[in-house]
Structures are given as structure tokens and as C-alpha cells.
Amino acid sequence: MTRARKTSVRRHKTPMSYRQMLSGLIEELQDNEAVVVEEPYLGQGLTAPEARTIAARHGVVLADPVLDFFTQINGGIIEWRLAPNAARRLSLRRPADANSISGRAYFYRLDEMLEDPALAGTPYEQKLTNPAALRDFRPFDKNVEEAFAGFMVTRGRLSDKTTYLRQYKDLAAFGATLRQYIEALVQCKAFLWWQDAFVARPGQRATADLYHYVPQLFPGETLDRFR
């Protein structure tokens, strides 16, 4: 069913760059006959002075890993869906899953990310223990419309520790640095709702779907970042 190319950060003696990791994911998806890949895009990185100038204009200093990311990639999108002829070869948990098995990563440009997200008064504010915390949250990657991965700004510094914002839920720490977040994204192929699975592990439907479908579509993927 597949001609999947394995991309594993663990096989390299020196860490791969963010661009190498995400370019490898795109190649792996494009080599896999079980999925259809929409036209991917990884934006040209900024220079370090450009990134620092944009950050300073918004009154923040970027943690070094975040600066590194935006000097390699400034905005991007990776999207895929199940190929029509692949559904019959899968063991489906629910018949309707064939229409929803997909993946998505939408990376904000630095200037987009640092703009005030203006989430006050929106559903994202509802049920938050501390609604004022939204002022310090900056969205980085959107996997689904209802949720973001992002970073918190503390005393003018934007951390590389990733944070999860889901509609009607409290802010939650991923327990992962930016590099660990990207490694997890690559392993799960940006599977729909993977962020929810990563934060809520174990249990819940998102986690069950992730473990059920990713190994079928991408044989050999162990999802060890999710263990």
C-alpha cells in the first residue's frame, strides 16, 4: 500500500535542522501512495537581524530555538488526506473515518505570530481559569481550526516551551520544547488532532485514532514521542 520513506531524527549523529525535518516529512508523504498531499509550502527563512527586528517591534525577545526556526522557515503549510483507493485496505475504527483521516500543519509567519491574537471575548476565552493569560499566548502552528500550538511571553521573552490552546479548554503545557514538538509532528505526520493526543495522553479518541491509523499508513512508525 505504501512506498513510505522513513525519516528519523534519531538516526542522525547531529540534530537535523527544522527545515530538514519538515522537508523530510513532505518527501515521506509524497512518496506514500496511501495519501494525497496538497501543494506544500515552507517559507524562506528570515535573517537573524530581520527576525530580531520584527520581535523587537512587538516588544519581545525570542528564545534561541524559536529564532533558529524562523531563520529557516517563516510560515508554511503541509496538508494531506487519505487517498480514495487506500480506505478499503485499512482497518477502520468507524466507517466514517475514511472521510476524515488527514493531517495538517499551518505555521504562522513571525509577524503573524507576534501580533496580538485578539482572542479576548472569543470562545477561546470561555472557561479559562485565567483569561488574562491569553494576552501572553502567541500562536505558532494550527492543526485544526479549534486549537493552536504556541508560545507564552513572560517578562518580554518568548519561550521555546510549547503551549496548547484549545477552544473551551484551559491553556496546557505540551511538556515539549520547540524541537521536541516538531519531532512529534513529524512522527505523527501532523495527523488531525495530534496536538490533543499529545497533551491528553493516554486515552481519549484522538489518541486512539492516532495509534490506530498512523502505523497502518506509515509502517514502521513507532510514535515514541507519544509514549
Quick check: is 2 in a domain?
no
CA distance 175 to 111: 25
Q: What is the pLDDT of residue 201?
A: 65
Q: What is the pLDDT of residue 120?
A: 58
Q: What is the pLDDT of residue 204?
A: 75
Residue 173 pLDDT > 60, yes or no?
yes
Quick check: is 128 in a domain?
yes
Quick check: is 136 in a domain?
yes
**Where does the pLDDT of residue 115 fall: very low under 50, low under 70, confident under 90, or very high at 90 and above?**
confident
CA distance 125 to 165: 10
Task: Name 53's Cβ contacts closer than 8 Å, sequence gap at least 6.
Answer: none
CA distance 1 to 98: 15
CA distance 167 to 91: 31
**Higher pLDDT pick, 1 / 105:** 105
Q: What is the pLDDT of residue 133?
A: 81
3-state SS of 170-217? CCEEEEEEHHHHHHHHHHHCCECCHHHHHHHCCCHHHHHHHHHHHHHH
Strands 61-62 vs 157-166: parallel, antiparallel or unpaired: parallel
Which range marks the domain in which residue 108 is found? 9-226
Mean pLDDT of 37-58: 98
pLDDT digits (tens, 9 = 90+) for 27-45: 999 999 999 999 999 999 9
Quick check: is 1 in a domain?
no
Mean pLDDT of 215-223: 94
Angle at 216 between CA 212 and CA 218, to 5 degrees: 120
Quick check: is 4 in a domain?
no
Q: What is the pLDDT of residue 5?
A: 44
Q: What is the pLDDT of residue 146?
A: 87
pLDDT digits (tens, 9 = 90+) for 178-196: 999 999 999 999 999 999 9
> Looking at residue 62, which CATH number applies to its domain?
3.40.1580.10
Domain count, the chain: 1
Q: Are residues 29 and 212 in contact, defined by beta-carbon separation less than 8 angstroms? A: no
**Higher pLDDT pick, 148 / 129:** 148
**Where does the pLDDT of residue 10 fall: very low under 50, low under 70, confident under 90, or very high at 90 and above?**
very low
Instruction: Tell me if residue 78 falls in helix, strand or coil.
Output: strand
Instruction: Tell me if residue 106 falls in helix, strand or coil.
Output: strand
Instruction: Tell me if residue 80 falls in helix, strand or coil.
Output: strand
Instruction: Tell me if residue 160 falls in helix, strand or coil.
Output: strand
- Computed over every residue of the chain, the mean pLDDT equals 89
Residue 9 pLDDT > 60, yes or no?
no
Q: What is the pLDDT of residue 226?
A: 85
Which of 22-31, 39-48, 114-123 is predicted with the least confidence, judged by mean pLDDT? 114-123
Q: According to DSSP H, which parts of the chain are helical?
A: 18-30, 48-57, 64-72, 110-114, 178-188, 194-200, 204-217
166 backbone dihedrals φ, ψ, rounded to 5°? -120, 140
